[in-house]
Every structure is written in structure tokens, then in C-alpha cells.
Amino acid sequence: MLLEAQQAVDAVRSLRAYSLLSCPATPDYRRAGTEDSKVNQIGFPIFRVMRRSMLPVLSMPLYEHRAHQGQYLYRMRYAHRDEGWVIDAAQVVWNGAPLNAWTEIKGLHSSEAQAIARGIEWCEAIVAHHNTDNVPDE
């Protein structure tokens, strides 16, 4: 976790080097390392939206749990707030494809373990619903 935090800090520092405030506006200016920039006829850089792969991932912890012989992957983003632990988003993945969009699970929990347990219960309910929907008619 400490290594991930350090990588995020390094990514933010490298993005600052590409920021508009630190870039000189000269006719021969080119942003090194990206294909997503051009220089207009006057010599000022034109910036497009940065590719997502260049942006640092500064997010809350992601908990993943495989269930049902690895067919399902439960993914939860959770965080600690002043009031307690919350699940900000949860998703169930089946055979590599998401069954649902990231969904907030309402509730406040006194510990990280309780929040994750609640998230797993929610994901199990989604899986039960999915399995019920896929039962062939007789």
C-alpha cells in the first residue's frame, strides 16, 4: 500500500511538469512524451484532454473477492469517513463481464470488516438474483 501511495505521488509530480503553468509558450514548444498536444500557428500549445492512462489513480482501497469457484468477482471501493466506514461503490463481475454498474451501498459501519461483510452480502444478493434469472423455464 505504501508503494502504491508513493507511485501515486510520483505520478502527480510528473503531471505537474506537463501542466500549462510550467510550460513555456514558444513556437518550437512540444510536450515531450505525449501525442495528445499540438502547437498552434502563433506558438501557444493546444492541449487536448489527457489520456486516462496518464492520470494518477488516487482512489480509495479496492477489495476484490472471488466466489462460486471463481466465476464471480466481487469488487468494492470503500473508505473511512469521520462517521465510520462506507462502501462507496460495488460491482459484480461474471466471467470477465460486469453484471452491474458500480453502485453505492448505503450504510455506515463501525469497522472496515463490517463494511466489507456488508458489501459481500450485497454482491451475494446480486448473484442470487442473476442465477434466478438464468434458470430455464420448464
Domain positions in the chain: 62-133
Cell 471463481 belongs to 70
Are 45 and 19 within 8 A, CB to CB? Answer: no
Domain 62-133: CATH class, spelled out: alpha beta
Rounded Cα–Cα distance for residues 83 and 95 (Å): 36
Average pLDDT, the chain: 70
Q: Give the separation between CA 60 and CA 85, rounded to whole angstroms.
A: 12
Question: What is the pLDDT averaged over residues 66-90?
Answer: 91
pTM of the predicted model, to two decimals? 0.53
| 78 in Cβ contact with 63 (< 8 Å) | yes
Residues 41-71: tens digit of each pLDDT: 454 444 444 444 443 434 578 889 898 888 8
Exposed (0-12), middle (13-18) or buried (19+): which is 27, by Cβ within 10 Å? exposed
